[in-house]
Structure 1
Amino acid sequence: LLPSAPQHTAQGSYAELSRYVPVRLSHDDRKLLNLLERALNVSEYTDRVDVYTLRQEKDNLIIDQLDEACSILSGMSVASHQRPPADFDHWYQRVFEVGRRYKMLNPERFRDNYGKLMYMLMDANKVRDRLQFELIKPIKTVRSEYGALGQPLEDLLLDSRLPLAVHPAHNKEEAEVRTAARDDIAARHGDKLKPDDLNGILDSLEEFEEFREHCSQPATRMKEYLQHYFSPIDETCG
């Protein structure tokens, strides 16, 4: 096979991309994701809402089933010895946001129940006036999560070493280059950014680059094959 040439995001483009790059799930986020998946496995939301009788108004049925789904979530939270939230409304928003954010960069996972989650949130939007609480919140992005850092964030996103520091490594040499770039960035920005914030930003951008490479690699490889094995002016070539 032809080796794929490494491709890096252009310097400076991360300042704009940060508005759309989802934040990598934290340890607590992954606990909530596990909780959400188990709750969706138990819920029969789509079975009951999609198969309803004329004797019951569909909006009422949607509200009843959403209440039941949220009750399952809160019950599982207590059963799994997680600390019960003081504000359930915002907690539900966070749980559902984690599920949506995870799916964005992991499209091959969370397949069985993600459709059910989408139906729930779409229906919740239809009846939100009667539901009396909101289940949807904006996706956490690098910009929305770390924007309060101000100029130190801007300096990091414009750093010339950043593309190397978040580029997926496919071999030992690339891993060493990435590690060296990360160490250099930590030395440059460590006095202005907390380690957790710096690692969170770098990990989120790296996960995004892995996702983008995974999506674009088939087309890139096919283009390389066409350029290497075929000629636009010689029909016998290839």
Structure 2
Amino acid sequence: MFLNLDGTGKVRAAETGCAGTQLNATIHSDKIDIISYSNKGRRIVTQIKDLCAIISGLLASGDYKVGAQLFAGQSVKENEEFFQRVFEVGRRFKIMNPEKMRTIYGKLMYMLMDSVIPEVKESLGFSCVIPIKTVYNFLKERELVELLHDDSVVLATREIPTEFKTRAQINAEVQRKKNTIETLCQKYANERISAEEIERCLASLSDNNAYLKANRWVILLWATADFCLEILVIRC
């Protein structure tokens, strides 16, 4: 229910790339935690603005027209929505891909924690932190939480196991899943939410199930095959 909402391919590539590259370009804590700086808050503000400037440059280098529209003659505060989205996408990407961003995610957390210090937030003029986008919140904003209670969602988002099945059986299950997704999209699409947005929510739930199957189920299989669960429970 509170699973992360997947971004579109363009959003994920551009904004996650910006967040990762700009954090690799600077070591936030090394420049902040230095005794010689008399005003730590001012130094934090300077570093965050530098990071935002790097993001702006990366976006402009990738798509000059978009960069010019966003940043031409505008301050960091005037583009707060864009920077908030970049940092949110970086956090969401890490949650959905725990094996990624092993070093830069820590830098991101330090920077965001420093950004909510009252004096820093006041100097910046905006907050760098916004809530993580989830499937539940996305549907709640569009008054469609009932979708999550539809029994067909289980079939539309389940991971299809391939073990001990013929190709024909797998194809039949895949087609059944696709048909269920199309049915749900047609059933719940309205003026507040499009069929494409519903499909995106279902894809997010499906991605989570695929991740759990690839990681959790293997551990459970090993535990049941090589260990006695009753003994493990008693020891815990």
Please indicate the TM-score interval, normalised by the length of the shorter structure: 0.7 to 0.9
Q: Which residue does the alignment assign to 1:129?
A: 122
Residue type of the alignment partner of 1:133: F
Residue type of the alignment partner of 2:57: G
Higher relative contact order (CA 8 A, sep 6+): 1
The answer to whether the Cα contact below 8 Å between 1:21 and 1:204 also exists between their aligned partners in 2 is: yes
Q: CA deviation at 1:57?
A: 2.0
In the TM superposition, what are the counterparts of 1:212-223 in structure 2 within 5 Å? 212-223=212-223
Q: Which residue does the alignment assign to 1:149?
A: 142
Q: Distance in 1 between matches of 2:85 and 2:185?
A: 30
Residues 231 and 203 (structure 1), Cα distance of their counterparts in 2 relative to 1, 3 Å cut = closer
Identity percentage over the alignment? 26
In the TM superposition, what are the counterparts of 1:90-105 in structure 2 within 5 Å? 90-105=81-96
In the TM superposition, what are the counterparts of 1:37-56 in structure 2 within 5 Å? 37-50=20-33, 52-56=34-38
The answer to whether the Cα contact below 8 Å between 1:165 and 1:179 also exists between their aligned partners in 2 is: no
**1:16-62 per-position Cα deviation (integer Å, ceiling 9, x unaligned):** x2xx1110121232111112212112123232113x13342222211
**Is it true that 1:186 corresponds to 2:182 in the alignment?**
yes
Residues 68 and 214 (structure 1), Cα distance of their counterparts in 2 relative to 1, 3 Å cut = same
Structure 2 length normalisation: TM-score? 0.78
**1:212-236 per-position Cα deviation (integer Å, ceiling 9, x unaligned):** 3344224411342157xx6979xxx
Q: CA deviation at 1:64?
A: 1.2
Q: CA deviation at 1:109?
A: 0.9
In the TM superposition, what are the counterparts of 1:1-238 in structure 2 within 5 Å? 17=1, 20-30=2-12, 31-50=14-33, 52-82=34-64, 83-84=66-67, 85=70, 87-126=78-117, 127-151=120-144, 153-154=145-146, 156-171=147-162, 172=167, 173-174=169-170, 176-193=172-189, 194-226=194-226
Structure 1 length normalisation: TM-score? 0.78
The answer to whether the Cα contact below 8 Å between 1:164 and 1:177 also exists between their aligned partners in 2 is: no
Q: Structure 1 regions of 5+ residues with no counterpart?
A: 1-16, 234-238
Query: What is the number of residues matched between the two proteins?
Result: 210
Other structure's SS at 1:54 match = coil
Residues 232 and 213 (structure 1), Cα distance of their counterparts in 2 relative to 1, 3 Å cut = closer
**1:156-179 per-position Cα deviation (integer Å, ceiling 9, x unaligned):** 322222212212234254564243
Q: Structure 2 regions of 5+ residues with no counterpart?
A: 72-77, 232-236
The answer to whether the Cα contact below 8 Å between 2:185 and 2:199 also exists between their aligned partners in 1 is: no
Q: CA deviation at 1:93?
A: 0.3
Query: Greater shift after overlay, 213-222 or 63-72?
Result: 213-222
* Regions of 4+ moved over 6 Å: none
